[in-house]
A and B are shown apart, each in its own frame.
Chain A
Amino acid sequence: MLQIFCPHCAELRSEEEFHASGQAHIPRPLDPAACTDEQWGTYMFFRDNPRGIHHELWIHAAGCRQYFNATRDTVTYEIFETYKIGEKPQVTAKPAGAVPEAAAREE
């Protein structure tokens, strides 16, 4: 089973406590009424589906019930980092010799 680091509880917790909530870092248009249909439709419905590094929104549903972001490899399911909403991700490209976060913390 995967162990995911919750940045609010500050410890590794079992994957079954979490839910994924899709792509992270999607800003809501400041003035929705001024959007074209295409802009609003893109904001509302269109999501990236990358192969490799992906920044995702997760919620610690059975724990502190807070949302946070995770950087995950969609191919290997390695989670490189988790960080609070509003913070910037440290990992934006797949690092050479990357170590999943859970393994790194246990060492």
Chain B
Amino acid sequence: MTTANVYQQRPGDDVKAETPLHHANLPSLFGKGRNNPGVTLRERKLLGHLTLRGEAHDSAFSGGVHKALGLELPVALGVVSQGELSLQWMGPDEWLLICPRGQEFALEQQLREALAGLHIQVVNVSGGQTLLELSGPSVRQVLMKSTSYDVHPDNFPVGKAVSTVFAKSQLIIRHMAEDTWELVIRRSFADYWWLWLQDASAEYGLAIAE
């Protein structure tokens, strides 16, 4: 029996929700910019983010996670995904689950049911962070300008995710497909990253996608 206070934290669709980049009015920029942009930015807005903690070596834990999510627990610096659902290694006992908007409450309940009785933690952090997707042939150049971490494919293959120092602040870089990278950022830093990415990708051409 858990005493965790589990409740639906997302208000209904009739309640106005502003994304972390609401003030930048990204929809007004859709379809503008160069014809062949080197970098395409997409705000993956208002997704569900859950932090999951538990004992990685406990087969009851890893089995329970697989039962609840259909995803295997990734090992160090890994991210696994299935459709819109992704599970990322954050530390030896911590993972980040990102799911489509509105599914986080159901997934949290599934996880708690499958992991009942174990020493675990599930926290909804959807309000605290957001996801930016960068795609295009010049994304790696933009990342190389911004971080000291080696983003060459030999060192950073698809399916790897690292939390690192980026442009004097800190975020998570995820390599999801050959030319597709994701940045998991703090909500309060969204404007800073937006300004930084505009500046860093200006020379390659930046487009905003829906």
Q: Does A62 interact with chain B (Cβ within 8 Å)? A: yes
The CA-CA distance from A16 to B94 in the complex, in Å, is 22
In residues 7-21 of chain A, which contact B (Cβ within 8 Å)?
A: 8-11, 13-14, 16-17
In residues 61-94 of chain A, which contact B (Cβ within 8 Å)?
A: 62-66
How many residues of chain A are within 8 Å of chain B by beta carbon? 14
Q: Does B103 interact with chain A (Cβ within 8 Å)? A: no
Contacts of B165 in A (CB 8 A): 14, 16-17, 62
In residues 156-177 of chain B, which contact A (Cβ within 8 Å)?
A: 162-165, 170
- Please tell me if the beta carbons of A17 and B164 are within 8 angstroms of each other in the complex: yes
- Please tell me if the beta carbons of A63 and B148 are within 8 angstroms of each other in the complex: no
Category for how many chain B residues contact A: 10 to 19
Contacts of A8 in B (CB 8 A): 76, 91-92
Chain B interface (Cβ < 8 Å from any Cβ of A): 76-77, 90-92, 94, 148-149, 162-165, 170
Contacts of A9 in B (CB 8 A): 76-77, 162
Contacts of B163 in A (CB 8 A): 62-65
Contacts of A1 in B (CB 8 A): 148
Kindly provide the distance from the CB of B143 to the nearest chain A CB, expressed in whole angstroms.
Answer: 14
Selected from B76, B91, B148, the residue in CB contact (under 8 A) with A65 is B91
Contacts of B148 in A (CB 8 A): 1, 14, 16
- Please tell me if the beta carbons of B164 and A63 are within 8 angstroms of each other in the complex: yes
The CA-CA distance from A16 to B165 in the complex, in Å, is 7
The CA-CA distance from A64 to B92 in the complex, in Å, is 8
Contacts of A63 in B (CB 8 A): 162-164
Contacts of A14 in B (CB 8 A): 148-149, 164-165
Contacts of B91 in A (CB 8 A): 8, 64-66
Q: Which residue on chain A has the smallest CB distance to residue B166?
A: A62
A-B contact pairs, 29 of them (CB 8 A): A8-B76, A8-B91, A8-B92, A9-B77, A9-B162, A10-B76, A10-B77, A14-B149, A14-B164, A14-B165, A16-B148, A16-B165, A17-B164, A17-B165, A62-B164, A63-B162, A63-B163, A64-B76, A64-B90, A64-B91, A64-B92, A64-B94, A64-B163, A65-B90, A65-B91, A65-B94, A65-B163, A66-B91, A66-B92
